[in-house]
Amino acid sequence: MAKNYTLDRSNSTGWWVWECKDGSAGGSAPTKGDARDEAKAACGMANFDIMPPLVNAVVYRGYLSNFTVENLDGKQVTFSVEEISQAEFSFFFGLPCAKEEKIDDTRKAITILKIWGIYRGGLNVEKIKKLHYLSDEDFNKLINRKYFGLKITIQNDGRIIWKFPD
């Protein structure tokens, strides 16, 4: 039976969720700064809460050691910095320090797909696109984190169907 996923939870997207304290509005954004800006515009200067993505990070002396996150199947998966670097972690979770790091498109895609639990291999962009059935446009949406609301279907034959939001 095919597996169907919809990316609309902050614990699998890495997105930040915000809500007005009076409950009048809410939303989510790919970075903490974007969430803060959206919340300020909708709720006023200090009348909102921002909730980070659900992740359990272990940090020693200011450096990431490992982290545990929920994949698309709802399973808790732990990654060490050897598997996903601190810079790649920062990229996935939209932390401001990620902008200072130079993470290539291949590593961005691998990071997202590993965290989601659907990485099939590929060490360059073309191979990743082929193994994951990604078009050029869909690959660009993926690495630019334009996937909130994305619907993924993994068919019985292994083919992946991607339906990115408009």
- Could you tell me if 68 and 55 are in contact, meaning their C-beta atoms sit under 8 angstroms apart? yes
Asked if 96 and 36 touch (Cβ cutoff 8 Å), the reply is: no
Token pair for 30: 């790919």
**pLDDT recorded at residue 68:** 95
Q: Which helix (H) or strand (E) holds 126?
A: helix 125-132
What is the DSSP annotation of 129-159?
Answer: HHHHT--HHHHHHHHTT--TT-EEEE-TTS-
pLDDT the model gives residue 44: 87
The letter for the amino acid at 6 is T
pLDDT of residue 9: 62
Asked whether 91 and 111 are in contact (CB, 8 A), the reply is: yes
From first to last of the 166 residues of the chain, give the pLDDT tens digit.
Answer: 899 999 876 567 788 889 999 999 999 888 889 999 999 999 988 799 998 888 899 999 989 999 999 999 999 999 999 999 999 999 998 887 767 778 999 999 999 999 999 999 999 999 999 999 999 999 999 999 999 889 999 999 999 999 998 8
Q: In what order do the strands lie in the sheet with 16-20?
A: 26-29, 16-20, 48-51
- Helix (H), strand (E) at residue 4: strand 3-6
**DSSP letters for 13-55:** H--EEEEETTSS-EEEESSHHHHHHHHHHHH-SSSEEEE----
For the chain, the domains span 3-163
